[in-house]
Amino acid sequence: MQDTTKITAPVTDDRNAWRWGFTPQAEIWNGRLAMIGFLAAALIELFSGQGFLHFWGIL
């Protein structure tokens, strides 16, 4: 008898792909965008001498 089992390569997802929903890719992008936002808020506070909310005139 012949061995008829198929050997397939493992599926590897692109970790940088933009995918919607609760996927590892979406969480990676969420973390990256959160880091950019946090850095932007910290730089605004550093260079303006005011807090983020005061800078935008909210407080």
Structural element, H or E, at residue 26: helix 24-48
pLDDT tens digits for range 8-44 = 766 666 777 777 778 888 888 899 999 999 999 899 8
Q: Which residue has the higher pLDDT, 28 or 6?
A: 28
The pair phi, psi for residue 17, each rounded to 5°, is: -70, 150
- In the chain, what are the helix, strand and coil shares in percent, each to the nearest 5? 50, 0, 50
Specify the pTM.
0.60
Asked if 51 and 59 count as a contact pair (C-beta separation under 8 A), the reply is: yes
Would you list the domain boundaries of the chain?
24-55
The confidence score (pLDDT) of residue 6 equals: 75
Report the C-alpha gap between 36 and 44 in whole angstroms. 12
Place of tokens 């890719």: 25
